[in-house]
Amino acid sequence: MSREKTSIHGEWSSRLAFIIAATGSAVGLGNIWKFPYITGENGGGAFVIVYLLCVAMIGLPVMMAEVLLGKRGRSSPINTMRIIAKEGGHSRLWQLLGWLGVIAGFLILSYYSVIAGWALAYIPTLASDMFAAVNTMPQNDVADFAGSVFNNLVGDPLRLMFWHSLFMMVTITMVIGGVRGGLERAVQFMMPALFIVLLVLVGYAMNTPEFMKGLHFMFDVDFNKLFYPNGEDWSGKGLLAAMGQAFFSLSLGMGAIMVYGAYLPKQASIAQTTTAVVVADTLVAILAGLIIFPIVFSNGLEVNAGPGLVFHTLPIAFGQMPFGSVFGTLFFVLLALAAWSSAISLLEPAVAWLVETVKLSRVTATMACGVAIWLVGFATIYSFNIWSDIKPLSMLSGFENKTIFDLIDYLTSNIMLPLGGLFIAIFVAWLMKRQIVANELDTSPDTLGFRFWHFLLRYVAPIAVILIFLNAIGVLS
Ligand code: TRP
């Protein structure tokens, strides 16, 4: 029966349109802003390997499961889970999975918009060519200069508010445009352009004095750096961060990819389309690392500079390279566009549910969610200035230094998304009938490919998620 069903919100015009939109969701600040900085914080190579393993063994199978649920349910994640659970005679509680996702999406977008605002703020900064100054100052001052430009921005709540508001306003406008109008068109030109600019930057990085040191940092696997971050005590936190990053970067575990799956044309192959998305996403993250670490080492910056890392490093490169202000401006424009194509997928599950169930118009639903998220975003803005000393969970070990922004990020990426992924895996691999699942994938339950995927989803992904959780709590240490 699912074969005839289509979504009330519309449908992608083709399989390629789905790939473009899902890649647009996956590729964003997670690849270019977050991947380099948490790789830096977690010691490099070993973290990267664990990340790649999580992408392949957990991320890809779970993404297929999420798309499959969406394609069968053809609704917002909450209703998709309700419909499919009912169809199989399972508990109504499964729709809580959709709710978990809606809440995670809210929280993620609240800070995502603030960080995307940094990218917007850097557009005029780069266009003004002020970073050309790095060519005439002593090499030792370059890092400080880039750092002070960044600190001036994040120390100024009003400026952050302005850019955060602009980002949310445009996000709301795009989501109101709906599946075909808003989402599809924007991403089409941006992804290839972003890729080209990244390649130009890799070319620049290859000519910096410490390119090889950057490579070694990213690819030399030393597990001591991951498990003994301070040299003495064993810690499972790096492992959790790698898994959380895999979920975050692939937009998994909160229904974003599920709701995009709901708009998938009937005939599209899930295995191929999701693989394309995963490969593209991973490539962009690796390219970002290849660009940023050589710049870090060549200019005496700190790898564990935290969330400001990209904003400390790249402007230096743009200051030094020919036509740097042009490339720099273009880069931050593209980064903002990449962030927008991700942001719309964070908002879409909630909007789709409000339209279906509460019967709000698309405009009202989007405005209501958007304004709420915009307000929650102020907590992140203040985390970088007037509230930077507020550490709500400082009594817990490991959380001493976490601001409100850090906590929202930790809760969503490292806990809510993997938890969502765990339940998606359990539902599809343990509760849904093999035959039904195989039908949705347009294959038979006996093919090798299906059995391998099913095995990953049934055993490998859930056990890995649970072990990594237990590890981080310290139960296994
Ligand atoms: N994956 C996006 C990025 O890397 C962010 C994102 C969009 C996301 N939709 C999501 C993260 C859903 C988690 C869940 O920038």
CA distance 39 to 287: 13
State the sign of the Cα–Cα–Cα–Cα dihedral 305, 310, 312, 316. Answer: positive
- Whether ligand 1 lies within 6 angstroms of the CB of 379 is answered as no
Q: What is the CA(345)–ligand 1 centre distance, in A?
A: 8
Q: Which of 94, 91, 90 is nearest to 80 (CA)?
A: 94
Q: Is the CB of 108 under 6 A from ligand 1?
A: yes
The minimum-distance atom of ligand 1 relative to the CA of 412 is 13
Q: How far apart are the first and last CA of the chain?
A: 49
**Atom 4 in ligand 1: residue holding the nearest Cα:** 30
- CB-based burial of residue 271 (10 Å sphere; 0-12 exposed, 13-18 middle, 19+ buried)? middle
* Nearest alpha-carbon partner for 76 in 427, 269, 359, 408: 359
User: Cβ atoms within 10 A of the Cβ of 233, count?
Assistant: 9
Mutation test of ligand 1: which of 39, 55, 108 has the most ligand atoms closer than 8 Å to its C-beta? 108
Distance CA 356, CA 259 (A): 13
Q: Where do the structural domains in the chain lie, given as residue ranges?
A: 2-472
Q: How far is the CA of 30 from the centre of ligand 1 (A)?
A: 7
Backbone angles phi, psi at 190, to 5 degrees: -70, -40
Q: Is the CB of 248 under 6 A from ligand 1?
A: yes
Structure tokens at 381: 């803005």
Backbone CA torsion sign across 380, 383, 385, 386: positive
259 in ligand 1 pocket by Cβ < 6 Å? no
**Ligand 1 centroid – CA 328 distance (Å):** 24
Between the CA of 320 and the centroid of ligand 1 the distance, in Å, is: 32
From 247, 248, 419, give the residue whose CB has the most ligand 1 atoms within 8 Å, as the site to mutate.
248
Contact criterion met (CB below 8 Å) for 336 and 164 = no
Please identify, by atom number, the ligand 1 atom nearest to the C-alpha of residue 250: 1
Instruction: List, for residues 117-175, the tens digit of each pLDDT value.
Output: 999 999 999 999 899 999 999 988 999 999 999 999 999 999 999 999 999 999 999 88
- If DSSP states are collapsed to H, E and C, what string results for the chain? CCCCCCCCCCCCCCHHHHHHHHHHHHCCHHHHHHHHHHHHHCCCHHHHHHHHHHHHHHHHHHHHHHHHHHHHHCCCHHHHHHHHHHHCCCCHHHHHHHHHHHHHHHHHHHHHHHHHHHHHHHHHHHHCCHHHHHHCCCHHHHHHHHHHHHHHHHCCHHHHHHHHHHHHHHHHHHHHHHHHHHHHHHHHHHHHHHHHHHHHHHHHHHCCCCHHHHHHHHHCCCHHHHHCCCCCCCCCHHHHHHHHHHHHHCCCCCCHHHHHHHCCCCCCCHHHHHHHHHHHHHHHHHHHHHHHHHHHHHCCCCCCCHHHHHHHHHHHHHHHCCCHHHHHHHHHHHHHHHHHHHHHHHHHHHHHHHHHCCCCCHHHHHHHHHHHHHHHHHHHHHHCCCCCCCCCCCCCCCCCCCCHHHHHHHHHHHHHHHHHHHHHHHHHHHHCCHHHHHHHCCCCCCCHHHHHHHHHHHHHHHHHHHHHHHHHHCCCC
**Under 8 Å between Cβ of 318 and 102:** no
Q: CA–CA separation, 210 vs 218, rounded Å?
A: 13
Q: Give residue for tokens 């380099």.
A: 36
**Tokens 């490169």 found at:** 317
In short, whether 26's Cβ falls inside 6 Å of ligand 1 is yes
pLDDT (tens place) for every residue of the chain, 477 residues total? 344 577 887 777 778 888 888 999 999 999 999 999 999 999 999 999 999 999 999 999 999 999 999 999 989 999 999 999 999 999 999 999 999 999 999 999 999 999 999 999 999 999 998 999 999 999 889 999 999 999 999 999 999 999 999 999 999 998 888 655 655 676 778 888 899 999 999 999 999 999 999 999 999 999 999 999 888 888 889 999 999 999 999 999 999 999 988 888 777 789 999 999 999 999 999 999 999 999 999 999 999 999 999 999 999 999 999 999 999 999 999 999 999 999 999 999 999 999 999 999 999 999 999 999 999 999 999 999 999 999 999 999 889 999 999 999 999 999 999 999 999 999 999 999 999 999 999 999 999 999 999 999 999 999 999 999 998 887 776
CATH of domain 2-472: 1.20.1740
Pair 68, 436: CB distance under 8 Å: no
**Among 342, 348, 411, 417, which residue has the most ligand 1 atoms within 8 Å of its CB, making it the best to mutate?**
342
Q: For residue 243, what are its two tokens?
A: 């898994």
474 Cβ partners below 8 Å, 6+ apart?
A: 236
Choose among 288, 342, 414: nearest CA to 115: 342
pLDDT digits (tens, 9 = 90+) for 59-103: 999 999 999 999 999 899 999 999 999 999 999 999 999 999 999
Question: Which of 274, 345, 424 has most ligand 1 atoms within 8 Å of its beta carbon, as the pocket-test mutant?
Answer: 345
The Å distance, Cα 317 to ligand 1 centre, comes to: 27
Q: Is the CB of 25 under 6 A from ligand 1?
A: yes
| Residue nearest to ligand 1 atom 8, measured at CA | 251
Would the CB of 249 count as within 6 Å of ligand 1? Answer: yes
254 Cβ closer than 6 Å to some ligand 1 atom: yes
244, 419 in Cβ contact below 8 A? no
